[in-house]
Chains A and B, each alone.
Chain A
């Protein structure tokens, strides 16, 4: 029989000399607790970020762009809150990595785990949007009462005139055009008055003075917009 090296004697000698110590049971319990807490936080954050993205698209009116033809779809993707989407993807990867720290985690193929996390976050995100959480935070942000996340929320109503997207209230309706204005008392770029020329075939009878409206179009002259899509905003937007 081949002589085996005396690993046993060497290891037991190190143990005997006190060079090596067993980690306590509490160490391993703490390890599991820390991973579980991080996992819960990462999951909650991913739900919050996804719910914010859904709220942001709805609240800004950007979802209307999808009904404005190819140009509207392209503008929708240009205005999509990609930062939130990227942050959420990073959080999904973190959640998946944390799940893998558990004994059951590595038994699930990565794509299936990521899909499960996405479904969980989407359902959670939709449920959060059924609560007044984001609307309350947005109101606080607009009243400068929301630290840290304030700018994030204020960006929802930011001007996108550089992308040809305008929001405002109809001041007057003239022959084949109407005038809208927006003023949220901050004198920034999204405040102003514009004359909107609706797209061909638009039924002027569908709009009325005082209505809030979402317009996608091209400025043809200073203050005049040739619209390719118009949508009335509901009272809560």
Chain B
């Protein structure tokens, strides 16, 4: 079995893993284990089985690795598998649809323009996301995690959630507003 190079890209490792190089798959696990656990802890919050779920994500990734299109980025692909696993975990726990009908995916939304003030706001939002997500609906919670904690681009988030780009934009804005309202509400109560 070939030892993969440390500086190999995720996509190059995935190509190796598509063959018979399980060591390359091991490197991918090393790279994504921490990130997926953090994503899971933030998204599922009170679930005690996050490690088991993430382990299952890697097993599914291994089973489907030959279905990965090597012309595309690996990270949205594995996050998509994780997203499905986390949504299923919430569904199983609450026995109800987590992401109910989302009318934002029905219509076109203009992609919102980049606002330089947003970058200054980013650090503040990151810490707000770290502390104030529990009360938010999963639909907003997840997109805020992907954008502020996992630092995914709009396109990557669209590929993970399987929604149009405009929907990412509008959902992110609504999530930010809901989070700010939540933080403000907490401030008033204290």
CB within 8 Å of B: which residues of A? 4-5, 7-8, 10-12, 14-16, 20-25, 27-28, 31, 100, 103, 106-112
CB within 8 Å of A: which residues of B? 18, 22, 25-26, 29-30, 33-34, 37, 51, 54-55, 58-59, 62-67, 69, 72, 105-109, 158, 162-167
Grouping DSSP codes into helix (H, G, I), strand (E, B) and loop, the B interface class, with mixed when no group exceeds half, is helix
Grouping DSSP codes into helix (H, G, I), strand (E, B) and loop, the A interface class, with mixed when no group exceeds half, is helix
Q: Do A7 and B29 touch across chains, with their CB atoms under 8 A apart? A: yes
Taking the nearest CB of chain B, how far is it from the CB of A13, in angstroms? Answer: 11
8 A-B pairs closest in CB distance: A106-B162, A28-B67, A8-B29, A110-B106, A11-B58, A25-B66, A5-B51, A111-B106
* A74 CA / B26 CA spacing, docked (Å): 68
| B166: A residues at CB distance < 8 A | 109
Q: Do B26 and A110 touch across chains, with their CB atoms under 8 A apart? A: no
| A24: B residues at CB distance < 8 A | 66
Q: Do B34 and A4 touch across chains, with their CB atoms under 8 A apart? A: yes
* A191 CA / B33 CA spacing, docked (Å): 77
> Beyond the given A20-B62, A28-B67, could you list 6 further A-B residue pairs with CB under 8 A, ordered by the A residue number?
A7-B51, A11-B29, A22-B64, A31-B67, A100-B162, A111-B107
* A25 CA / B37 CA spacing, docked (Å): 29
Taking the nearest CB of chain B, how far is it from the CB of A128, in angstroms? Answer: 29
Q: Do B67 and A4 touch across chains, with their CB atoms under 8 A apart? A: no
- The listed residue (B29, B54, B66) touching A22 by CB distance below 8 A is B66
| A5: B residues at CB distance < 8 A | 37, 51
With A12-B26, A106-B162, A112-B108 as known contacts, state yes or no: A23 contacts B66, CB within 8 Å: yes
- The listed residue (A106, A107, A109) touching B107 by CB distance below 8 A is A109
| A7: B residues at CB distance < 8 A | 29, 33, 51, 54-55, 58
| 28 A-B pairs with C-beta separation under 8 A | A4-B37, A5-B37, A7-B33, A8-B30, A8-B33, A11-B59, A11-B62, A12-B26, A15-B25, A15-B62, A16-B22, A21-B63, A22-B62, A22-B64, A24-B66, A25-B18, A25-B66, A27-B66, A31-B67, A100-B162, A106-B162, A107-B165, A109-B105, A110-B105, A110-B106, A111-B106, A111-B107, A111-B108
With A106-B164, A109-B105, A109-B164 as known contacts, state yes or no: A28 contacts B62, CB within 8 Å: no
With A7-B29, A112-B108 as known contacts, state yes or no: A103 contacts B62, CB within 8 Å: no
Q: Do B106 and A20 touch across chains, with their CB atoms under 8 A apart? A: no
| A107: B residues at CB distance < 8 A | 158, 164-165
| A112: B residues at CB distance < 8 A | 107-108
| B34: A residues at CB distance < 8 A | 4
In the complex, the chain A residue whose C-beta lies closest to that of B36 is A7
Taking the nearest CB of chain B, how far is it from the CB of A40, in angstroms? Answer: 22
Q: Do A20 and B59 touch across chains, with their CB atoms under 8 A apart? A: yes
